[in-house]
Amino acid sequence: MEPLREVRDGYLITLNIGTPPQEVQVYMDTGSDLTWVPCGNLSFDCIDCYDLKNNNLKSSSIFSPLQSSSSFRASCASSFCAEIHSSDNPFDPCAIAGCSVSMLLKSTCIRPCPSFAYTYGEGGLVSGILTRDILKARTRDVPRFSFGCVTSTYHEPIGIAGFGRGLLSLPSQLGFLEKGFSHCFLPFKFVNNPNISSPLILGASALSINLTESLQFTPMLNTPMYPNSYYIGLESITIGTNITPTQVPLTLRQFDSQGNGGMLVDSGTTYTHLPNPLYSQLLTTLQSTITYPRATETESRTGFDLCYKVPCPNNNLTSLENDVMMVFPSITFNFLNNATLLLPQGNSFYAMSAPSDGSVVQCLLFQNMEDGDYGPAGVFGSFQQQNVKVVYDLEKERIGFQAMDCVLEAASHGLNQGS
């Protein structure tokens, strides 16, 4: 079990790397494999990074390989080197360094692993050196843990722990990939609260029968194009008490001949993305049932598509949160294999600021999928996973969901110091 600390746009896990151990906080990301940390002190260069400019990146979150007696650069004969250079990446400097991918796969490149460039779906880019060092975890140490020692990034101010299904991922290197893991994300209101953490459970204990019997499981969808990612199929969406669910396009539950489609489960993406025309249908259906005045100024400022001014008696947001399902229609995801997930309170509309003058502006925190026909058709983001226990059963290739109070779940694991 590992604690996850919530920040503005994700969940941080603490890694202890090196000799002596250096503590580095990185995002937990189920949408990628590579674990990387910012390296160096003054040398770490983050281009177009708002968080870094505002001094939100602490020096304690930067790893210094020079301060670790057990740190060394990975060899190009390593399977991890072949893994990080085997993707079709136009920014990859591997060939420039004189080592083709075929040479790496045959382990015939007699030099250190060439520097890499690793891209993310939303335009992020990191470049650095594949490094090996000891990783000290609660249950076991990984003496030759492979990770990216990154000195230059674009849009990526904080390191990432990759929780995908590939060789480089953190669960894979810890030896838990044959079993699985689970998490229960705390809601937004606990952002930067040092007294409580979201529980992350790795290995067989996350899959015990008494913990999973009440979950609804949907099968993982496998595509050769993205074999290391977690895809599931969305069949329909139910809005409020509508008897007839809104049907979704076939692309959200199956892949095309190129391997595009499906719904990606991604803790590294904050909000759920849905493709058009489904997204527009969702907006239209919600608008037809909501009678509050629109807050168009907030929509323009935030980029969210549906914002409303909701009465908030005595400016008491807590009482409104308890009645949010009465305020807005519920949203239910219907996945393959008859698995349903009624989104918990607060996972669809969220207050943009503190109440004033007896009202509060709440916006729908869903977004339009703008990537067209390439990649996933939709993304199930971390905000909609809050107060939901999510179990990745990698042995049976399925993902389970159960709405629950993650504060109580945190307390049961001793992660709520205020309880």
Catalytic residues: 29, 266
Tokens 């708002």 -> residue: 50
Q: Ramachandran region of residue 261, left (φ > 0), alpha (ψ -120 to 50) or beta?
A: left
* Chain centroid, CA 365 distance in Å: 16
3-state helix/strand/coil string of the chain: CEEEEEECCEEEEEEEECCCCEEEEEEEECCCCCCEEEECCCCCEEECCHHHHCCCCCHHHCECHHHCCCCEECECCCHHHHHHHCCCCCCCCCCCCCCCHHHHHCCCCCCECCCEEEECCCCCEEEEEEEEEEEECCCCEEEEEEEEEEEEEECCCCCEEECCCCCCCHHHHHCCCCCEEEEEECCHHHCCCCCECEEEEECHHHHCHHHHCCCEEEECECCCCCCCCCEECEEEEEECCCCCCEECCHHHCCECCCCCECEEECCCCCCEEECCCHHHHHHHHHHHHCCCCECHHHHHHHCCCCEEEEECHHHCHHHHHHCHHHHCCCEEEEEHHHEEEECCCCCCEEECCCCECCEEEEEECEEECCCCCCCCCEEECCHHHECEEEEEECCCCEEEEEECCHHHHHHHCCCECCC
Residues belonging to the chain? 419
Cα three-residue angle 147-151-154, rounded to 5 degrees? 100
Largest CA distance in the chain: 71
**125: CB partners within 8 A, 6+ apart:** 91, 117, 118, 119, 153, 154, 155, 156
Of the candidates 184, 159, 147, the one whose C-alpha atom is nearest the C-alpha of residue 6 is 184
Q: Ramachandran region of residue 114, left (φ > 0), alpha (ψ -120 to 50) or beta?
A: beta
